[in-house]
Amino acid sequence: MKSFIALLSKTLPVQTAYAHCDLPCGVYDPAQARIEAESVMKIMEKYSGFHEDEQKWRAVFIKEQRAELVKHHLWVLWTDYFKPEHVEKFPQLHDLFWRATKAAGDTKKSVDPAVGQKLLDLIGEITDIFNKTKAK
Amino acid sequence: MVLKRLARLLPLYKYQISGNSMTPALKNGQTIIVNRLSYLFNDPKKEDIIALKDPRDGKILIKRITKIAGREIFVQGDNKKASTDSRVFGMIDHNDIIGKVIF
Q: How many distinct structural domains can be found in chain A?
A: 1
| A109 domain residue, yes or no | yes
Average pLDDT rounded to a whole number, residues B54-60: 88
What CATH number does residue A68 fall under? 1.20.120.400
More confident residue, B6 or B47: B47
Q: Which chain B residues are Cβ-neighbours of A25 within 8 angstroms? A: 88
| Residue A33 belongs to domain spanning | 25-134
Contact state of B13 with A9 under an 8 Å Cβ cutoff: no
Looking at the partner chain, which of A8, A13, A136 has a beta carbon nearest the beta carbon of B4? A13
More confident residue, A99 or B59: A99
| A101 domain residue, yes or no | yes
A80 touches chain B (CB under 8 A): no
**Per-residue pLDDT at A35:** 94
Helix (H, G, I), strand (E, B) or coil at B99: strand
Mutate to test the interface with B, among A8, A10, A12, A27 (most CBs of B within 10 A): A12
Distance CA A97, CA B37 (A): 44
**Per-residue pLDDT at B57:** 82
| A4 domain residue, yes or no | no
Q: At what angle are helices A31-47 and A53-76 packed, to 10 degrees?
A: 160
A136 touches chain B (CB under 8 A): yes
A12 touches chain B (CB under 8 A): yes
> ipTM score here?
0.82
Q: Which residues of A82-99 are buried (b: 16+ CB within 10 A; e: fewer)?
A: beeeeeeebeebeebbeb
- Phi, psi dihedral angles at B13 (to 5 degrees): -115, 150
| A16 domain residue, yes or no | no
| A20 domain residue, yes or no | no
Q: Which chain A residues are Cβ-neighbours of B60 within 8 angstroms? A: 15-18
Q: Does the pLDDT value for residue A23 go beyond 60?
A: no
Lowest mean pLDDT among A79-83, B76-80, B95-99: A79-83
DSSP-derived letter for residue B74 is E
Which has the closest alpha carbon to B83: B17, B12, B36, B34? Answer: B17
Diameter of chain B by CA atoms? 41
Q: Does the pLDDT value for residue B12 go beyond 60?
A: yes
- For domain B2-101, give the CATH number: 2.10.109.10
Distance CA B103, CA B101 (A): 6
Q: What residues pair up with B99 in beta bridges, in sequence order? A: B51
Contact state of B12 with A12 under an 8 Å Cβ cutoff: yes
Contact state of A15 with B89 under an 8 Å Cβ cutoff: no
| A84 domain residue, yes or no | yes
Question: CB under 8 Å to B40, separation ≥6 — which residues?
Answer: none
Q: Which chain A residues are Cβ-neighbours of B89 within 8 angstroms? A: 26
| A36 domain residue, yes or no | yes
Distance CA B21, CA B69 (A): 23
Q: What is the mean pLDDT of chain B?
A: 89
Q: Which helix (H) or strand (E) holds A52?
A: none
